[in-house]
């Protein structure tokens, strides 16, 4: 029987964000608040230089301009993820990062965590470019990287003791639960249910032209899917934990099958 002191300490990590995620949120909100303080004309230059604009590639829109140089064509595949349309946009992304980003940051460590988010952000931009060729509207927001973090978390989130299981341990232990191999994960009922809901919501948002934020920013759902698919497929390249053979996950909620 645990004492009150032991019980408190075992649950305390759940309410503590990993340092790498805290630093990322500070950077994102810091950038946003700085942009809010800039004159509109200057902020437009920031968007031209750091947002992802498909028209930058294969057109003469920015010809003979600094925005047509090789630099913006490369770094905007990543920098767009640090910009947001308004406070509701960055707040929405941050809320999703709290559970899924926390688990991934604890599991990967800071360097792997940042590298993984960068790769999924690039994948989201690439998907957006393929589906929005020569479009002038800039794309901004961390949603593709957030989607990648959500997809990666699905590989271990439902394992016994993980953060979406019915018998969750403390946050650090929950983040270290062995992951399922990809093919086994894609046969797990709870993973499949999550995938169906996630893809359904994103497609509805895109086809239905639903907007979020005070500026009615259209949801770049193709970029979300690009980041999500990259996160799901590339998770194993970043994961430092040896995968399980699937016996600790099962095909139904694990705890319902365990003896009392």
Whether residue 154 has pLDDT greater than 80:
yes
Cβ–Cβ < 8 Å for 115, 59: no
Q: Between 62 and 166, where is the model more confident? A: 62
Looking at residues 187-212, what average pLDDT do you find?
75
Question: Could you tell me if residue 7 is inside a domain?
Answer: no
Q: Is 138 helix (H, G, I), strand (E, B) or coil?
A: coil
How many domains, in total, are found in the chain? 1
Looking at residues 182-206, what average pLDDT do you find?
84
Q: What is the pLDDT of residues 99-124, one digit of tens each?
A: 899 999 999 999 999 999 999 999 99
Question: Could you tell me if residue 145 is inside a domain?
Answer: yes
Per-chain mean pLDDT for the chain: 81
> Can you tell me the distance from the alpha carbon of 40 to that of 57, in angstroms, rounded to the nearest whole number?
25
Tell me which of 33-37, 67-71, 232-236 is least confident. Answer: 67-71
Question: Could you tell me if residue 93 is inside a domain?
Answer: yes
Looking at residues 219-241, what average pLDDT do you find?
91
Tell me which of 6-15, 37-46, 82-91, 219-228 is least confident. Answer: 6-15
**Quick one: tokens of 182?**
């990809």
* Category of 239 on φ-ψ map: left (φ > 0), alpha (ψ -120 to 50) or beta: beta
* Confidence grade of residue 139 (pLDDT, cut at 50, 70, 90): very high
Question: Could you tell me if residue 195 is inside a domain?
Answer: yes
The residue with tokens 């978390």 is 153
The residue with tokens 């498909």 is 54
Question: Could you tell me if residue 87 is inside a domain?
Answer: yes
Q: Please report the pLDDT score of residue 82 as a whole number.
A: 96
Question: Could you tell me if residue 1 is inside a domain?
Answer: no
Q: Between 254 and 184, where is the model more confident? A: 184
Q: Is 110 helix (H, G, I), strand (E, B) or coil?
A: helix
In this structure, what CATH number is given to the domain that contains residue 176? Answer: 1.20.1540.10
**H or E stretch at 92:** helix 87-108
Looking at residues 216-225, what average pLDDT do you find?
76
Q: What is the pLDDT of residues 169-186, one digit of tens each?
A: 667 777 888 888 888 888
Whether residue 1 has pLDDT greater than 70:
no
Looking at residues 141-149, what average pLDDT do you find?
95
Whether residue 81 has pLDDT greater than 50:
yes
Q: Please report the pLDDT score of residue 259 as a whole number.
A: 36
* Confidence grade of residue 11 (pLDDT, cut at 50, 70, 90): very low
Nearest to 31 by CA among 113, 142, 145: 142
> Can you tell me the distance from the alpha carbon of 123 to that of 129, in angstroms, rounded to the nearest whole number?
10
Question: Could you tell me if residue 243 is inside a domain?
Answer: yes
Percent of the chain beyond pLDDT 70?
76
* Category of 219 on φ-ψ map: left (φ > 0), alpha (ψ -120 to 50) or beta: beta
* Confidence grade of residue 201 (pLDDT, cut at 50, 70, 90): confident
Question: Could you tell me if residue 8 is inside a domain?
Answer: no
Cβ–Cβ < 8 Å for 248, 159: yes
Looking at residues 6-26, what average pLDDT do you find?
69
Q: Please report the pLDDT score of residue 56 as a whole number.
A: 87
**Quick one: tokens of 165?**
């299981």
> Can you tell me the distance from the alpha carbon of 182 to that of 199, in angstroms, rounded to the nearest whole number?
18
Q: Between 8 and 237, where is the model more confident? A: 237
Whether residue 3 has pLDDT greater than 70:
no
Domain with 38 in it: 17-257
């Amino acid at each position: 029987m645990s004492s009150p002191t032991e019980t408190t300490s075992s649950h305390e990590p759940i309410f503590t964000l990993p340092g790498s995620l805290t630093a990322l949120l500070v950077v994102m909100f810091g950038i946003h608040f700085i942009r809010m303080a800039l004159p509109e004309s200057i902020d437009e230059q920031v968007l031209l230089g750091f947002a992802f604009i498909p028209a930058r590639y294969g057109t003469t829109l920015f010809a003979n301009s600094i925005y047509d140089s090789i630099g913006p064509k490369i770094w905007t595949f990543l920098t767009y993820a640090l910009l947001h349309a308004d406070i509701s946009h960055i707040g929405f992304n941050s809320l999703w990062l709290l559970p899924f980003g926390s688990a991934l940051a604890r599991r990967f460590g800071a360097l792997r965590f940042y590298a993984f988010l960068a790769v999924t952000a690039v994948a989201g931009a690439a998907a957006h470019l393929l589906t929005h060729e020569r479009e002038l509207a800039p794309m901004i927001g961390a949603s593709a990287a957030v989607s990648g973090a959500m997809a990666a978390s699905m590989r271990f989130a439902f394992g016994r003791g993980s953060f979406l299981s019915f018998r969750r341990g403390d946050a650090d232990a929950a983040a270290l639960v062995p992951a399922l191999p990809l093919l086994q994960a894609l046969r797990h009922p709870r993973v499949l249910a999550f995938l169906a809901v996630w893809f359904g919501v994103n497609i509805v948002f895109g086809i239905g032209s639903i907007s979020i934020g005070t500026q009615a920013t259209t949801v770049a759902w193709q970029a979300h899917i690009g980041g999500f698919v990259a996160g799901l497929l590339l998770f194993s390249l970043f994961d430092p934990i040896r995968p399980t053979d699937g016996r600790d996950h099962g095909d139904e909620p694990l705890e319902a099958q365990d003896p009392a």
